[in-house]
Amino acid sequence: MKQESSGFIEVCLRLINSNLRHFWLCASIVIIPTLAVFALVMWVIEPTYRSKAIVTPPSASKTSLQGLGSLLGGASGGLSSLLGFSFSDNDANAVWTILNSWELHNMVIDKFNLAEHYEFDGNFHADLLKEFRKNFSLDCNKESMFEVAIEDKDYKLAAAMVQFMLDKADSAFNAFKTAQAKQSREYMQSRLDSCEHALDSLLQGFTKFQVEHDFYDPEIQLESTIKYLGELQSRREELSIELAFEKADRGEGSKRYDELSKRYKSVNSALNGALNGKQKNVGVVSLKKSPELTAEYMQWKAQIKIQEALYKILRQQSEELRMEESKMLTNLHVLEAPWENDKKVAPLRGVTLIFTVFVTFLIATIVANTLDYLKEEEARDSSVAEQWKAFKGFFRKQKA
């Protein structure tokens, strides 16, 4: 370990001594480029400024189908796919595309005459567009906000360009949403008309079914029918007991027996008529037909319920799309507006000068130690020294 430490120290001392022996050479190699770079970054290279804005992307606008589940018992998912709706929102992607579009970038180039500002002398507009995009950046930060930034030699112009892009992007997005809302509204209106026609047909068919079968409310009618039949059955049993008693007491020829017989036949006829559905005009339901009628009644009600739910949601969505089509509001909300930031972002003077000093010092050290090495080789008259003499002799011949 001691030998390694001594060897390392020896190497460092050799490097330092070589630099000191060629002090003025090393100083020239370091100072002259550093002064040149300092003059460039201070007075020759124009500084670059950066103007930035932070905007919120459009919020996800979900359709009113979210409330349809309560109307249809949670079946809104399948219905949304049936109607062609989707809860996924692509508005943020649309804004991102607009901000990166060549149409918007061309507007900025034409508005601020960037061809003259950049001193562009190319033959192709695509090269000018590429030059602008080198200075433009669009990123999404950790908070999912959009950062729009432009770098330019004029910080006032940079802020103006960012503001112009935000205004045009908002206008383009509004136009996009308006056209989208119009197309959706027209489709929604056609669906609304067809749904309304289907609902009217169902209501007419349901009314016809109720009138033909005198079947208006199964729950109430069946309850009343069973109660009515129970009363008739009880009355018939009472009459049957009285007839049997009268027959045993006075015989079948008595006047009371005749009255009881007539009443028994009347009750029995009413009971048979009720069982066969002959009294449906007064709301009495035939028990034999009631299961079939109830099933058909429930089918009508289910179809009407679905169509009513569809009609409500389509009506509400149509009104929302009409409002969306008619409004022209700001969708891009600026959290941090672009401002005339006069702090330079390039060139980085300190970093550039430190890098220049470091590189030139490294070159100077290599040159100084190379010269000492060659001097030692000349003293030993080695093969390296012979090559070095031949190299110097070549340049002497050129001068001669």
Specify the pLDDT at position 162. 94
| Residue 315 structure tokens | 């009506």
Under 8 Å between Cβ of 53 and 148: yes
Confidence of residue 102 (pLDDT cuts 50, 70, 90): very high
Tens digit of each residue's pLDDT (9 = 90 or more) over 216-232: 777 776 677 677 667 76
Specify the pLDDT at position 282. 57
Confidence of residue 144 (pLDDT cuts 50, 70, 90): confident
User: Among 291, 265, 263, which residue's Cα sits nearest to residue 277?
Assistant: 291
User: Among 96, 95, 98, 79, which residue's Cα sits nearest to residue 87?
Assistant: 79
Specify the pLDDT at position 44. 66
Spatial neighbors of 367 by CB under 8 A, at least 6 apart, are 22, 25, 26, 29
Question: Of the segments 8-22, 66-80, 298-312, 383-397, which one has the largest average pLDDT value?
Answer: 298-312
User: Among 101, 166, 112, 151, which residue's Cα sits nearest to residue 337?
Assistant: 166
Q: Residue with structure tokens 């943020």? A: 92
Whether residue 100 is predicted with pLDDT greater than 90 in this model: the reply is yes
CA distance 381 to 386: 7
User: Among 195, 112, 189, 191, which residue's Cα sits nearest to residue 150?
Assistant: 112
- Of the two residues 267 and 274, the one the predictor is more confident about is 267
- Of the two residues 50 and 384, the one the predictor is more confident about is 50
- For 85-99, the DSSP string reads ------HHHHHHHHH
Strands (E) across 99-256 are located at: 136-140, 146-152
Tens digit of each residue's pLDDT (9 = 90 or more) over 156-214: 999 999 999 999 998 888 888 888 778 877 888 888 888 888 888 888 988 888 777 77
Phi, psi of 320 (to 5 degrees): -65, -40
- One-letter amino acid identity for 394? F
Q: Where are the alpha helices (DSSP H) in the chain?
A: 2-21, 23-39, 69-72, 76-83, 91-99, 102-111, 114-117, 125-135, 155-213, 218-249, 255-275, 290-326, 349-380, 383-399
Helix (H, G, I), strand (E, B) or coil at 292: helix
CA distance 174 to 328: 6
Average pLDDT over residues 391-400: 66
Q: Which of 63-72, 102-111, 209-218 has the lowest mean pLDDT?
A: 63-72
- One-letter amino acid identity for 203? L
Under 8 Å between Cβ of 375 and 388: no
Whether residue 391 is predicted with pLDDT greater than 80 in this model: the reply is no
Specify the pLDDT at position 271. 66
Alpha-carbon Rg for the chain, nearest whole angstrom, is: 49
Spatial neighbors of 382 by CB under 8 A, at least 6 apart, are none
Confidence of residue 295 (pLDDT cuts 50, 70, 90): confident
CA distance 253 to 376: 163
Under 8 Å between Cβ of 254 and 246: yes
Specify the pLDDT at position 75. 45
Specify the pLDDT at position 384. 78
Q: Which of 22-31, 295-304, 377-386 has the lowest mean pLDDT?
A: 377-386
CA distance 133 to 198: 55
pTM for the complete prediction?
0.56
Spatial neighbors of 42 by CB under 8 A, at least 6 apart, are 349
CA distance 378 to 360: 27
| Residue 370 structure tokens | 């190379």
- Of the two residues 133 and 23, the one the predictor is more confident about is 133
Whether residue 32 is predicted with pLDDT greater than 60 in this model: the reply is yes
Specify the pLDDT at position 37. 83
The helix (run of H) or strand (run of E) holding residue 335 is: strand 333-336
Tens digit of each residue's pLDDT (9 = 90 or more) over 298-356: 888 888 898 888 888 888 887 877 776 666 556 778 888 888 887 877 777 778 888 88
Average pLDDT over residues 261-268: 75
User: Among 64, 100, 199, which residue's Cα sits nearest to residue 108?
Assistant: 100
Q: Compute the mean pLDDT over every residue in the chain, rounded to the nearest whole number.
A: 78
